[in-house]
Structure 1
Amino acid sequence: MCGRLNVTDSPGIRSLCEQLEISLWPDSGMVMQRFVRATDRVSVVFERDGKREMHNAIWWLLLDKQAGPSGTVFKPSKYTSFNTRSDKLNVPRSAGYKPFREQRCIIPAAGFGETLGRGAGAVFHDLVADPNESLAMGGLYRWWQGTSERGDTFYELSCSVVTLPPHPQLMPIHNKASPLMLSPEDNSVQRWLDSRVSTTEALDDLLTPRLRHTFTVVPIDKPSSHQQTGDSFTLSPDD
């Protein structure tokens, strides 16, 4: 999966948030924008003490902690970590090993972007979920402790999207990986968020590539300008 998300407001996102019965929302409000890129802030939902909370996190799981004139500053690490590969989740000492067991989250989204190729030959597509379907990216999160200029303790939140092997339907637009896509309709969102689940075998079936939503796929010139360059087409959910 490439590092861009579409989190524009949609009936599906609103429905997902309502179904999750989120008890705590970010003070600054939920991040809503069409083009969220890696290292930007994105809204994540996780379960703590039996309640769902939403917070805004840096979309880059590993952060570097630096001392600045106004206190601790957190910046994205040099190690690429906006995505966490599923084949690394059970590798001890890997970045995703502990979060997979203790700190799973979802990222509500209206869609995401994919890129095929590199440089001048890169081809870009936007995938937009049916507006009435609730799409959630399965992810991981981490808290980081810092100190303010006044000496007060504060916490920064980071996250990543779990990526799976490529899905057959996505191969023509991205042939390296596919994001973990979850839905409340088949209980996959609820299972991923369940903080009581620490036995990873209980989640193994979710780590198989699966389309749970209907997507409109739009070829575009580039993510920043978002100009359609060809005919769109539809991807249907797996049976």
Structure 2
Amino acid sequence: MCGRFIITDTSPDLVAMFDVEHEGENLPEPSWNIAPTEQIPIVLESLKSDPKVRRLESARWSLVPSFSTELVPKFPTFNARAESVADKPAFANSVVSKRAIIPATGYYEWKTDGPTKTPHFVYSDDGLPLALAGLYAWWRNPTSSQDDPARWVLTATILTTDSLGELAGIHDRMPVILSEEWWDRWLNPHVPGDQAFVDAAVASSAEAAETLQFHEVGAVKGNGPELIEPVASRSPEA
């Protein structure tokens, strides 16, 4: 799973990296401790634009399907299992044409050993942001008036798959990391998605996963660059 992650790049950094043409409003600031339901930056292309326009937008991290009557679903939706995502009513429509990239400098994962859970930070060996495969959906608040600009809420989820290599020793799940060759295809809403399409993206992510490194960190509390420091390098006062 992927329950906490960080993004230290600024909006201009992400615009340049992902060739974004439109930068949305109220984009979140860099953060070292992003939790589900918080705002995150996502990259998407919309069918409403012809020709399509690549956008960087702020989304609520926990996908809410359009048919939901509440903003908080009865089950967690900040992650979606890639191997069955097209069959799940909450995610199926998004698989078809509402796919996103969720940039992440890295993510936290906890290794469980009996009652002990030890946090680790996972990141790319080249220091560049990871392009996590995601889905998005627009949710309309049924209690809001038609002229309320806040009635539409952009929401998103991160796809996960079986962990590879040494990462499997920490947790059995990991986010799907898109290789750069897949970015355009994954975002293109004119390319209809189905389970076979998702499976192909997951298969291609194995190479990107090979670039991952990880190290143990201290308690993931608060928000700051000290959270990702290796335990061995922290000062006694930290």
For normalisation by structure 2, the TM-score amounts to 0.79
Structure 1: runs of 5+ lacking an equivalent = 67-73, 232-239
Query: Counting strand residues as a fraction of each chain, which structure ranks higher?
Result: 1
Shift of 1:130: 3.8
2:172 corresponds to 1:170: no
Query: Residue 80 of structure 2 aligns to a residue in which SS?
Result: strand
Identify the range of structure 1 (144-153 vs 111-120) with the bigger mean alpha-carbon deviation: 144-153
Aligned partner of 1:223 in structure 2 is 220
Deviation at 1:78, TM superposition (A): 2.6
Aligned 8 A contact 2:62 2:76 in 1: yes
Q: Output the amino acid matched with 2:201.
A: L
State the Cα distance separating 1:202 from its structure 2 match.
4.1
Identity within the alignment, %: 24
Gaps of 5+ in 2: 234-238
Check the 8 A contact 1:38/1:82 in 2, yes or no: yes
Structure with more of its chain in helix, by fraction: 2
Contact 1:110–1:131 under 8 Å retained in 2: no
Match of 1:46?
44
Q: 1:142 to 1:199 in 2, by over 3 A?
A: closer
2:58 is matched with: 56
Matched residue, 2:236: none
TM-score (norm 1): 0.79
Residues 130, 47 of structure 1: CA spacing in aligned structure 2 closer, same or farther, 3 A cutoff? same
Q: What do you get for the CA RMSD once the two structures are aligned? A: 2.7
Match among 134, 142, 146 for residue 141 of structure 2: 146
The SS at the match of 2:170 is coil
**Number of residue equivalences:** 217
Residues 130 and 155 (structure 1), Cα distance of their counterparts in 2 relative to 1, 3 Å cut: same
**Of 77, 80, 89, which residue of structure 2 is paired with 1:81?**
77
Aligned amino acid, residue 54 of structure 1: L
Q: Distance between the aligned counterparts of 1:27 and 1:15, measured in 2? A: 16
- The alignment status of 1:158 with 2:155, answered yes or no, reads yes
Deviates more, 1:116-125 or 1:157-166: 116-125
1:67-106 maps to which residues of 2 (within 5 A)? 74=71, 76-91=72-87, 93-106=88-101
Aligned 8 A contact 1:62 1:79 in 2 = no
Deviation per residue, 1:120-147 (Å, 9 max, x gap): 4111101122455342110001101136
